Every structure is written in C-alpha cells, then in structure tokens.
Amino acid sequence: MLNSVVLFLCLSLFGYLYFQFAKKYGIVDRPNHRSSHSVVTVRGGGIIFPISVLMWWLMNGFSNSWMVLGLILIAAVSMMDDMFTLSRKLRFGIQFVALSLAFWDLGVFGQKPFWALPILYFIALGIINAINFMDGINGITGLYFLTFFGSLLAVNVYLPIFDSALIQYVILSLLVFLIFNLRKKALMFAGDIGSISLAYLVIYFLARWYLEVGNWTIVLSLLVYGADSFLTLGQRLIRGENVTQPHRLHLYQLFVNQLKKEHVLVALIFALLQFALNFVLFIYPQAYPSDLWALTILVLTAVIYLLIKIPIQNRFKLT
C-alpha cells in the first residue's frame, strides 16, 4: 500500500511538471472544427503511461525488456508526433517494429504459424489506430482503460498469467491522468503518446491472454468502444471519406457535440457498460462465452448501436 501511495505521488508530481513544461513550450491542442473542446489544452499528458511502465521495469529487475523497449520506441515517435507532424510511413514503421518487439517478448513467433502473423499485425495495427482516435472527449480514455486494466486484475485472480504489479502501475498512471483530464474543462489530453502507448499495452496483454487460452472471445473486453470504432469506420468507408483523418462521427462524440451531453457523463456510461460486460462475460463466471453466444452479443451490439446512432445522424443531417 505504501509503495502504491509513493508511486501515485511520484506520478502526480511528474504529471504536474509535464503540465507546466507543455504550457511553457506550447505543446497544446488548439480547437478546430473537428474538436469536441473549445479551449487550448495541453497535449501529451499520456506520457505518464510509459513512464509508469519504465518505473515498473526499474523496480522489477528489468523484466520483459523487449516489450519495454518497444513501448519506448512507440512512445518516443508518438511524442514527436504530438510536437511536430511526422510522416505516416515513419509512424507506421516504428509501430511495426515496436509490435515485433512485443511479440518477440511474448514468444509469438515460436507459437504461431507464419501465415497467422500478417493477420496478427493487421489486427494490432488496427487497434492502435482505432484507440488513437479515442482521446476526443474528457475522461473517456482514462475511464475506459481503467475498466480494461481493472478487469485484467480481476481475471488474474482465477487465471494468474499477467504481471499484476505492471497492471497496477498502469492503473495508477491512469488515475493520475484522470486528475488532469476528468473535468468539465480538461487540463490535459493524452495525445498520441498516451493513446498509442495504451494501445500498445492493450495489444500486449490481449496477445498474452490469447496465447494462454486460445479463445477469440476475449476481444469482447473492448466491445463498447470497439463497436463504435469499427462501425464508424464502416460508415466512413461507405461515404468515401479519408479514414486516416480525425472526425467527430463516433457515437460518444455525437452525444457530446450534437446532443450536448456532458463529457464526463458520456465517458462514465461507456466505461460502466464495458465493465458490466466484462463482469458478466469473464469476471463472474471465471470462464469464457461460447462462440455462438459471443457472436450473438456482437450482432446485438451492432444492431443496438445503429438503432441509436442513425436517428441522431438523420436528425442532424450527418449522413
């Protein structure tokens, strides 16, 4: 407990120092027509996430060094992208190298056939880019991934395959970030360094989980945002839009921008819905849903999602 308090205080101090540094040197997000905020806000506050992992690495005998090295690489290039505009090819290349280091750390290359690797990279890069669009409203990144990593701790009780200390370090960093972000007017956004670092860690833990149980239904632990991201991507492709450009078409963004709901309320709803699913599907039964049940949940989620979203889009002429 004492160690957790000390770590929380250290991360809080680091967050405050970064906040002052970013303000001084203009590492900020300026509102534009795609933004869901109206004031200049410090960007890159998610630097706390890789810092927490580095602290864990230093305090735990330099274990899982390949994964940590990948995180450093992907966090560094993402931080540079927060300050400057980097080429898409450079970012993609570093992401590919970082994922390769994570997979090497997990022993993926020795456990999966060669033909499966392109599929794995495709899914992982898709998750990274989906989560990169997530930092759109106050609180959603911190609360949603607090739910994800908290659920992993609960799963770890009956399936002890994760390093609980690493998860706890990440959770503490999320709590510190929420001090600055879970507000009516956020002081800091996670930025690319935060969202992409979290995406990298999510992929690492999901891959470890899958290698242990071999059950694809674990993807439902990200269903709420995953459905919003995947179906919004489909809508944009149908409309012929450039899907690499930022937008305001996620359902949570429509709630905030069109229906004028509070950022924090929408973020809480998304996080609580995901926790409810994780509790029912993984935590309470200490098992996994059948393929049929999982597919049924996917279809029902898509139907409910579209029944909510399409009327909003029609009402505000966004189709």
- For the entire predicted model, the pTM comes to 0.94
CA distance 86 to 279: 40
E strands of the chain, at which residues? 28-29, 41-42
The DSSP-derived string for 250-263 is SHHHHHHHTS---H
Helix (H) or strand (E) holding 42: strand 41-42
218-to-65, 112, 221, 283 alpha-carbon distances in Å: 25, 18, 6, 12
Is the CA virtual torsion 186, 188, 192, 198 positive or negative? negative
Q: Tell me: the pLDDT tens digits for 122-146?
A: 999 999 988 988 877 899 999 999 9
Burial pattern 152-175, b for ≥16 Cβ within 10 A else e, equals bebbeeeeeebbeebbbbbbbbbb
Stretches where the chain sits below pLDDT 50 are none
Residue 1: per-residue pLDDT: 60
Residue 239: per-residue pLDDT: 86
Residue 106: per-residue pLDDT: 96
Tokens (6 digits) for 79: 């931080």
Residue 170: per-residue pLDDT: 97
81-to-17, 177, 220, 246, 248 alpha-carbon distances in Å: 20, 20, 30, 14, 21
Residue 298: per-residue pLDDT: 97
Tokens (6 digits) for 277: 């699913």
* Residue 213: half-sphere exposure toward Cβ, Cα within 13 Å: 22
Residue 37: per-residue pLDDT: 59
CA distance 25 to 48: 18
Residue with tokens 């799963």: 155
